[in-house]
Amino acid sequence: MDLQIMKRSRRDDGKEPRVETTVANEEGYDDCSITRLPEACLAHAISLTTPMDACRSSAVSSAFQKAASSDTVWERFLPPGYTSILDRADHPVDLTSTKKELFLNLAQDHVLLDQGTKSFWLEQTSGAKCYMLSSRSLMIILADNPIYWRQSYLPDSRFEEAAELLSVCWFEMSGNIDCTELSPNTQYAAYLVFNLADESYGLDCPTQEASITIRDLMVSAKRTVSLHPRTTAQETPPCGSGGGCLGTRGGDERGGGGRAEEESTVSYPRERGDGWMEVELGEFYNHYGDTGMVAIRLTETVQLHWKKGLILEGVEIRPKS
């Protein structure tokens, strides 16, 4: 049913304003209405926004809803080269669904890649690529020696196994990902995803240091990382209580307080919704056309206190919120 829309306009001669009438239908104004545009034009305009904006625009009208759900829109939101990434999936991904369904599936769940060594998904508000590098894909010093590390099956892990630290004093791990695997012009952060065993110590040492480099160039300021929550770290003595130091490396006598000239931001972990904890290791910007490897490192090779109880799922790389 048509609606009578009354619009008042003031006359230039100062007399009573005249009343103009415009007829509109349930979809909006008949005259100059955006909903009168062809669906292809609406879809193109919506594709220039974001996935979140596209979902919101569906509430405008049935014409917008149809355009906002089209493959034209959601194909643009899917990252370039997504088919080649999904070709590496451990289990086949259904590509016959609509592009919107595919996007939402990738935003709501992860896909295991490369024989279970990586996990891939999309950031739901932007469509940016996200990854987790499994503990198996990380370079961990002494990880192949069962005296120091072991691989454990955990039902709540997205991977088949997680690495459990039994006892080390020299702690060094790193993970790599190619810049071209990531979304361009995106600010990323890297997070260590882990839990702590019932008995753990030495993981809040003030000389645990994280860094990120691209093509061997430092792109993130080094930061001190504690793997115990802030309250625990504040209540326990430096480096925990699991044994004495074996000494310091290279004559560095930083001790518990660290060298004042090299003080850095301390990262503390927080609990995630999936039951794991995460701590930020650093951030970097992936420019358009960047090439080379992003190297993410976490080390403690200075005070050499004994460490135990880290259950490592992997390193997550996702857009910085």
Burial of 147 (0-12, 13-18, 19+ CB in 10 A): exposed
Residue 245 has pLDDT above 80, yes or no: no
Residue 23: strand pairing partners: 4
Compute the Cα dihedral for 204, 206, 208, 210 and give only its sign: positive
User: What does the pLDDT look like over 175-216, one tens digit per residue?
Assistant: 999 999 999 999 999 999 999 999 999 999 899 999 999 998
Task: Name the nearest CA neighbour of 175 among 40, 281, 51, 300.
Answer: 281
Q: Do domains 3-75 and 110-319 have the same CATH topology?
A: no
Strand partners, 28: 25
Q: What is the pTM of this model?
A: 0.79
**CB of 208 closer than 8 Å to CB of 312:** no
Dist. CA 213–CA 180, nearest whole Å? 15
- What are the C-alpha distances in Å from 131 to residues 20, 90, 191, 315? 58, 15, 11, 8
Q: Spell out the CATH class of 110-319.
A: mainly beta
In the structure, what pLDDT confidence band is assigned to residue 230 with cuts at 50, 70 and 90? confident
Report whether pLDDT(232) > 60. Answer: no
pLDDT value for 231: 67
pLDDT at 1 over 50: no
Average pLDDT of 127-150? 96
Are 132 and 315 spatial neighbours (Cβ–Cβ below 8 Å)? yes
Q: For 42-78, how does the pLDDT look when each residue is reduced to its tens digit (9 = 90+)?
A: 888 988 999 999 989 888 888 888 988 999 999 999 9
Delimit the domains of the chain by residue range.
Answer: 3-75, 110-319
Does the pLDDT of residue 146 top 50, yes or no? yes
Angle at 170 between CA 169 and CA 174, to 5 degrees: 135
Average pLDDT value for residue range 226-253: 50
Predicted confidence band of residue 286 (pLDDT cuts 50, 70, 90): very high
Second-level CATH architecture of 3-75: Up-down Bundle (1.20)
Q: Which residues contact 195 (CB under 8 A, 6 or more apart)?
A: 275, 276, 277, 311, 313
Dihedral sign (CA 47, 49, 54, 57): negative
**Of residues 96 and 312, which shows the higher confidence score?**
312
**What pLDDT shows up at residue 11?**
43
pLDDT given at position 120: 98
Q: How far is CA 235 from the centre of its chain?
A: 31
Regarding predicted confidence, which is higher, 67 or 2?
Answer: 67
Mean pLDDT of 122-140: 96
Kindly give, in sequence order, each residue whose CB lies less than 8 Å from that of residue 100, ignoring residues fewer than 6 positions away.
69, 71, 73, 74
Q: How many CB atoms within 10 Å of residue 83?
A: 10
pLDDT at 268 (0 to 100): 95
CA dihedral of 301, 306, 311, 317, whole degrees rounded to 10:
-20
**In the block, which residue shows the tokens 């993970």?**
175
Per-residue model confidence (pLDDT) at position 35: 66
pLDDT digits (tens, 9 = 90+) for 24-41: 444 444 444 776 778 888
DSSP 307: B
Q: What is the mean pLDDT of the chain?
A: 83
Q: What is the pLDDT of residues 156-170, one digit of tens each?
A: 999 999 999 999 999
Do the beta carbons of residue 104 and residue 79 sit within 8 Å?
no
